[in-house]
Amino acid sequence: MAAESGDGFDPRGLLQVLERHRVAYVVIGALARVLQGTDEVTSGVDICPQRRAENLERLDAALAELGAPPVAALIAPERADPQPAAEAVLRRETAVGVLQVVAVPEGTRGGWNDLRLHANRESLGDGLRVPVASLDDLVRMSAALDREQDAAVRSQLRRLVELERGRDVGLDL
């Protein structure tokens, strides 16, 4: 089933295709921050995929359905190229919006294996539940990038972490 072309950004449509292909990934970047509570606008989906060969094949199949070029050969851990593309952001224009694939995001210890430990499955409605990076991991990745334009978002993330930790205090029933 091919994805339908549209004029706008459809993150649910994009993530539904990844889920249908059983791709192991964690949503990171601005969409993850929005899903965790930040006040910002995004026009794309960033993911960190598991880099096992069979998962990268599923990711490439999902990309093909979305009308985008493959990424597996560029981020496979066994690449012969001495310059690892694993830290690069691979941007793919799809039929339903931009997908950015980051094999090893800054601030993580190995990418997907690190992020999946604390990721939450967030509901996007109609039974779609996607793995989203934890607040702590989002803070860590943002701090590692240390971009000036992200300072306000980092502040929001830290406040959300404080609120989440405060919510847990005194809830022993």
Phi, psi of 72 (to 5 degrees): -50, -45
17-63 pLDDT, tens digit per residue, is 999 999 999 999 999 999 988 888 888 999 999 999 999 999 999 99
Kindly report the length of the chain: 173
For residue 13, pLDDT over 80 is answered with yes
Predicted local distance difference test score (pLDDT) of residue 68: 96
Decide: 153 and 40 in contact? Cβ < 8 Å.
yes
- We find that the CATH architecture of domain 11-165 is 2-Layer Sandwich (3.30)
Extents of the domains making up the chain: 11-165
> Distance between CA atoms of 61 and 18, rounded to whole angstroms?
9
105-153 pLDDT, tens digit per residue, is 999 998 999 999 999 999 999 999 999 999 889 989 888 877 777 777 7
